Each structure stands twice: as structure tokens, then as C-alpha cells.
């Protein structure tokens, strides 16, 4: 994206961009206006439309080979605000539009609206789910650092209540811890935004990319904003809020929180360093991010091995898998830069689908057995074969075994690591894959051995199908054609020279 393109009011198909944000926001307003009894219907009716809009945006970006641009009220930056969709944001938009309805369809059993009455939990769940989708769309399409801050705050205040929907003391405590870390991250990010605006008089990403210089104030702003975003992404050692929040939330909420919400702040880290701070020499910051990511891979995997509850194991696995996302930063310079960038984004996509499938499967296991203790899973795989198949396929993607999206992601990252001479990151990823195999074995070995368990309640086949479908998407990402990786580069001129 160049500064000249910021002056374009609307490109072909650009009018779809505000629609992607307004549709779920309209759903929230309608739910509040007409009452909780219709919130479920409104959410489920709008989600397919949201998917159609996301696919249309991706199609326009694909056909044009250029980002879509929409300026609000026709005023170009710096006076106005621009919304933009490039290849990366279009892919993330489609990913969110696929996982959201899957989680919604799965959640109908737990959060169905009783006929003729209004209950707090269903109303809150369906309204917050639409709020999450609106916030994610704003993050993926925003072209202004302050408006991205607004999206971050909307994401926080929609995600935190989902953790505490059941009102239990432990879920409220987990939600409050999540809120503290999120607000801490928001304050740091906003301080950085203020410093950048004071120095350059604009917050538009495309304009800043041509104006930013390696000055002390910029370095301070970059550090503050990055630290704030890492707290929201739960990168080690700022991960303390994630395991209790994701493990105690309802299964459908956990799937969205792990699959999508943490990707929102990661998306902004990529935007910041690859699109805004391109002029800065960033070998040292990139290496620091990768070192923290490596610590997350090893530390999160080791803790996952020690968990006694399935949902806690899957939550700590999220801590580990987030680490892979940051390995790409020191690798994104030189002939291997495209592989590193594509590998990082593929990791985000495969993790989103695999982890959503695993949390939904864990929810079914807990409901069917009456618990989620790993020691009590003996023979459960025989009684719930489809559920454990979804769990296993998702786990294989986390391990990075072929064929899976996780394998494609880790292969590209390891390839870039070896080509750049930075073997240490390849060794960490290989070790992380082995540890992931260890904690997956802890779950599947007892579940697939012994006599079939007695279930308190048989899982619904439709809900098992949702989890399996998401796991299969994570698997099929391994077969993405080369044109898909070219699509990721659309609108990212900084991708080939980003971190140096």
C-alpha cells in the first residue's frame, strides 16, 4: 500500500468493506432493540450474509491483484479515515466468517432461546458473538491506528463477558484477570499511538509508512504498542490470563477466543512491524519476538503435558502454538522472506481451525462423560469416535504432521530458518512438534484403549460434525495452491523488505 493509494476514495468493490463491519454491528443493535428472544435468530441469519460479504471481498482482491480501499465520507487521509482490505486481511476475514457460524451452530444446544421467555445467558452469548465479529472485522479492515485501538477495545469488551457467562466464581476470576491484562495492553498501545500522532500528525497506516523515521520517540512508541499487543495475544510471559479464561469458558466461546480473538492482536503486530515501521532496522526486535515465541513453544508445551484436565491441556497448547506465530519476524528479510511470511500466516489459519475443533470436541467430551479429566478418558474414543477423530486431526495439525495446515506452516518457517542460517528457530519448532505429540498421546492413548466408556449423554451427531468439519479444514490447508500464497502478498509491498 503506497501513500498515493490512500487518496483513492473507493476502489472497485470497496463499498463491501464497511458492510463487513456494519452487518454484525447491526445485529447487535437489533438484538438489543427487539429483545433477547430473537438474538439467536438474528445472529444465525446474519452470519451466512457475513460469510458471503467476506468471500466477495476476497474475490475482488483476488481479481484486481490490489487492495480494496474505502474512505469514510469521501475524505482521504489524513483528514479522513480509510478502510482497506489486502490479501492478509481478506483471508482473516473469511476465516472469522467461517468459524463464527460453526461456533454458533454448535452453541445452539447450550444457548438456545426458550420459546416464549427471555434468559440472560442466551441473550448475552448471541449478542456478544455478533459484537466479536464486528470488532474482528474492524481490526482486519482498519487502516488507522486509533480506529484499530477502538477495534481492540470492542474485542476486549465482547470477549471478556463470554468467559464468565455461567457466573461461577472461578470463571468470574478468570474473566477479571483477562480484563486486567487486556486493559494493561490497551493503555500501552494507546500511549504509543499518541506518541506517533504527536510526531507525524497522522495515524493512517499507508501515510505513516512513508513518513516514519528511526527516531527515539518512534522506538519508544513501537515498544509500547508491541508490549500492549503481546499482552492481548498472550505471548509468553504475558500468557497468565489465557489458560484459565479459555479453559473455563463455554466450549463454543473457547473455540472463538482461541481460534480468532488472540489472532486479532497478532494481526495488529504484523500490521505494525510489516506495514508501519518498515523504515526501522528491526533485526533485534524481530529476534526478541522470536525468542519470546520460542519460550512460549517450549514452556506452553511442557505445561500442557502436566495438565489433568483436557480443556486446560488444550488451553496451554494455545500458549505454545501462539509462539510459532512470532518465529517469522527475524526470518522476513532476504530471498526467504516470502516463505517466512506465508508460514506465519498459514500457522495463524491452521491454528484457528484446529484449535476451534479441539475446544468444541473437548466440550462434547466433557458433556458426554460428565467431566474432562484426562485420567478418566479410558475407552471414551470407542464411545465417541467422531469426536476423538476431530480432536486427533486438530492435534496432528498442531504437531505439524503431514498432510495438515500445521505441517505446511512449520515447513515454510523451518525452510526460511535454515535458508537464513538461523537454525535455532528450526530446532525449537522441531522440539515443539515432539512435545505436542507427547500431550496429544496423553489424551488419545487412554481414550482409544480399554472397554468403551459409559456415556451420561450421547453427543449430538450434528455438533460432532461441526468439530470434524473445522478439523478437516485445518487438514486441507496443506493442499493450498501456490496462488494462495501469492494472494497473501497482495497489498504488502513491505513483505519482501520488511524486517532487516
pLDDT bucket at 497, cuts 50 / 70 / 90: very low
Residue 249: name the closest of 177, 171, 359, 313 by CA. 171
Does residue 250 lie in a domain region?
no
DSSP state letters, 411-444: HHHHHHHHHTT-HHHHHHHHHHHHHHHHHHHHHH
d(CA 197, CA 328): 28
Inter-residue contact 1 to 206 (CB < 8 Å): yes
Tell whether 186 is covered by a domain.
no
For residue 122, what pLDDT is reported?
86
pLDDT tier for residue 299 given thresholds of 50, 70 and 90: very high
Q: Which of 240-244, 313-317, 454-458 has the least mean pLDDT?
A: 454-458
Is residue 161 included in any domain, yes or no?
no
Which residue, among 38, 60, 61, 57, has the nearest Cα to 49 in the 3D structure?
A: 57
Residue 450 lies in a domain: yes
Q: Is 60 part of any domain?
A: no
Domain region containing 340: 281-500
- For 51-110, the pLDDT digits (tens) are 999 999 999 999 988 999 998 877 777 777 889 999 999 999 999 999 999 999 999 988
Residue 464 has pLDDT above 60, yes or no: yes
What is the predicted pLDDT for the residue at 116?
60
pLDDT at residue 2 above 60? no
Between 113 and 477, the more confident residue is 477
Check residue 499 and give its pLDDT.
Answer: 34
Torsion 421-427-428-430 (CA) sign: positive
Residue 498 binned pLDDT confidence (cut-offs 50, 70, 90) = very low
Share of the chain above pLDDT 90, in %: 70
Instruction: Please report the pLDDT score of residue 15 as a whole number.
Output: 85
Q: Report which of residues 6 and 274 the model is more confident about.
A: 274
Percent of the chain with pLDDT over 70: 95
Q: What angle do CA 313, 434, 390 make, to 5 degrees?
A: 50
What is the pLDDT confidence band of residue 336, given thresholds at 50, 70 and 90? confident
Half-sphere exposure of 483 (CA within 13 A, CB side): 4
Does 387 fall in a domain? Answer: yes
C-alpha to C-alpha distance for 142 and 162, rounded to whole angstroms:
24
Weakest-pLDDT range from 54-63, 165-174, 310-319:
165-174
pLDDT at 232: 95
* Mean pLDDT in residue range 238-266: 94
Give the model's pLDDT for residue 117: 65
In a domain, 33, yes or no: no
pLDDT at 8: 53
Confidence of residue 10 (pLDDT cuts 50, 70, 90): low
Reported in sequence order, the residue ranges of 65-195 that DSSP labels E, i.e. its strands, are 68-71, 82-85
- Residue 25 in this model has a pLDDT that exceeds 60: yes
**Residue 1's pLDDT is what?**
41
Confidence of residue 219 (pLDDT cuts 50, 70, 90): very high
Give mean pLDDT, residues 370-393: 91
Q: Which pLDDT does position 302 carry in this prediction?
A: 95
pTM as predicted: 0.93
The whole-number average pLDDT for the span 23-38 is 88
- Name the pLDDT band for 163 (thresholds 50, 70, 90): very high
The confidence band for 6, taking pLDDT boundaries of 50, 70 and 90, is very low
| Count: domains in the chain | 1
Cα 114 off chain centre by: 31
Residue 29 has pLDDT above 90, yes or no: yes
pLDDT at 109: 87
C-alpha cell of residue 92: 482473516
**In terms of Cα–Cα distance, which of 285, 304, 298, 356 is closest to 324?**
298
Residue 285: inside a domain: yes
Query: Who wins on pLDDT, 494 or 423?
Result: 423
Confidence category of residue 421, pLDDT binned at 50, 70, 90: confident
Residue 251: what pLDDT? 93
Amino acid at each position: 500500500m503506497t501513500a498515493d493509494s490512500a487518496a483513492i476514495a473507493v476502489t472497485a468493490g470497496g463499498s463491501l468493506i464497511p458492510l463487513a463491519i456494519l452487518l454484525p454491528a447491526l445485529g447487535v443493535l437489533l438484538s438489543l432493540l427487539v429483545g433477547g428472544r430473537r438474538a439467536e435468530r438474528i445472529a444465525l441469519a446474519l452470519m451466512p450474509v457475513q460469510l458471503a460479504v467476506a468471500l466477495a471481498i476476497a474475490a475482488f482482491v483476488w481479481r484486481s491483484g490490489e487492495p480494496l480501499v474505502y474512505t469514510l465520507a469521501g475524505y482521504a487521509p489524513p483528514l479522513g479515515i480509510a478502510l482497506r482490505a489486502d490479501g492478509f486481511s481478506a483471508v482473516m476475514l473469511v476465516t472469522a466468517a467461517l468459524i463464527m457460524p460453526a461456533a454458533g451452530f454448535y452453541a445452539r444446544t447450550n444457548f438456545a432461546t426458550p420459546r416464549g421467555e427471555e434468559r440472560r445467558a442466551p441473550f448475552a452469548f448471541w449478542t456478544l458473538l455478533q459484537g466479536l465479529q464486528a470488532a474482528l472485522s474492524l481490526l482486519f479492515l482498519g487502516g488507522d491506528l486509533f480506529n484499530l485501538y477502538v477495534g481492540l477495545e470492542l474485542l476486549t469488551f465482547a470477549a471478556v463477558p463470554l468467559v464468565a457467562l455461567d457466573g461461577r466464581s472461578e470463571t468470574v476470576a478468570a474473566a477479571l484477570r483477562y480484563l486486567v491484562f487486556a486493559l494493561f495492553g490497551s493503555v500501552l498501545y494507546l500511549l504509543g499511538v499518541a506518541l506517533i500522532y504527536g510526531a507525524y500528525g497522522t495515524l493512517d497506516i499507508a501515510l505513516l509508512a512513508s513518513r516514519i523515521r528511526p527516531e527515539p520517540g518512534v522506538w519508544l512508541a513501537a515498544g509500547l504498542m508491541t508490549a500492549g499487543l503481546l499482552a492481548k495475544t498472550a505471548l509468553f510471559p504475558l500468557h497468565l490470563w489465557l489458560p484459565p479464561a479459555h479453559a473455563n469458558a463455554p466450549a463454543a466461546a473457547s473455540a472463538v477466543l482461541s481460534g480468532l480473538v488472540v489472532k486479532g492482536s497478532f494481526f495488529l503486530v504484523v500490521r505494525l512491524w510489516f506495514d508501519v515501521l518498515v523504515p526501522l532496522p528491526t533485526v533485534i526486535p524481530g529476534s526478541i519476538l522470536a525468542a519470546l515465541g520460542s519460550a512460549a513453544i517450549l514452556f506452553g508445551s511442557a505445561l500442557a503435558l502436566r495438565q489433568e484436565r483436557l480443556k486446560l491441556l488444550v488451553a496451554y497448547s494455545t500458549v505454545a502454538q501462539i509462539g510459532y506465530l512470532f518465529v517469522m519476524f527475524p526470518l522476513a528479510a532476504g530471498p526467504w522472506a516470502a516463505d517466512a511470511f506465508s508460514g506465519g500466516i498459514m500457522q495463524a489459519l491452521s491454528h484457528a481451525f484446529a484449535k476451534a475443533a479441539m475446544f468444541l470436541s473437548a466440550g462434547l467430551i466433557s458433556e458426554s462423560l460428565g467431566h474432562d479429566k484426562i485420567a478418566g478418558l479410558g475407552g471414551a474414543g470407542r464411545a465417541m469416535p467422531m469426536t476423538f477423530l476431530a480432536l486427533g486431526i486438530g492435534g496432528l495439525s498442531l504437531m505439524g504432521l503431514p498432510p495438515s495446515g500445521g505441517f505446511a506452516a512449520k515447513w515454510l518457517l523451518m525452510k526460511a530458518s535454515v535458508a537464513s542460517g538461523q537454525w535455532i528457530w528450526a530446532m525449537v519448532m522441531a522440539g515443539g512438534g515432539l512435545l505436542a505429540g507427547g500431550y496429544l498421546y496423553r489424551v488419545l492413548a487412554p481414550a482409544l484403549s480399554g472397554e468403551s466408556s459409559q456415556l451420561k449423554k450421547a453427543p449430538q451427531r450434528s455438533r460432532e460434525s461441526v468439530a470434524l468439519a473445522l478439523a478437516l479444514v485445518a487438514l486441507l490447508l496443506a493442499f493450498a495452491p501456490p496462488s494462495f500464497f501469492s494472494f497473501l502478498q497482495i497489498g504488502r509491498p513491505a513483505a519482501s523488505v520488511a524486517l532487516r
